[in-house]
């Protein structure tokens, strides 16, 4: 079981690249109530490189960060 609050990704354009959505849930998994997207970014986004959650600038949008990774 992932030891995180997962996200159902409802209407979230970033869900396919976010670990909070793509991890395999356990039987008793906790989930965020709604995707917490505001102004084109999500403070809970957990990309393929999990270091992003702790090290990347919080001032950029998810799309800006993903474009930088390509």
Q: How many domains does the chain have?
A: 1
Quote the domain boundaries for residue 24: 15-69
Q: Which pTM does this prediction carry?
A: 0.68
Using DSSP bridges, classify how beta strands 41-42 and 37-38 pair: parallel, antiparallel or unpaired. antiparallel
Residue 58: partners with Cβ closer than 8 Å, 6 or more residues away:
43
pLDDT tens per residue, the chain (70 residues)? 578 899 999 888 888 889 999 999 998 999 999 888 888 788 888 886 665 555 555 566 667 767 776 6
Helix (H) or strand (E) segment spanning residue 38: strand 37-38
Residues across the chain:
70
Which pLDDT score, from 0 to 100, does residue 69 have? 64
How far, in Å, CA of 20 to CA of 24, rounded? 9
């Amino acid at each position: 079981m992932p030891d995180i609050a997962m996200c159902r990704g409802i209407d979230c354009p970033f869900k396919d690249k976010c670990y909070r959505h793509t991890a395999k849930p356990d039987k008793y998994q906790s989930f965020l109530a709604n995707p917490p997207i505001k102004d084109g970014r999500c403070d809970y986004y957990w990309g393929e490189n999990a270091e992003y959650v702790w090290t990347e600038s919080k001032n950029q949008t998810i799309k800006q960060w993903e474009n930088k990774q390509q």
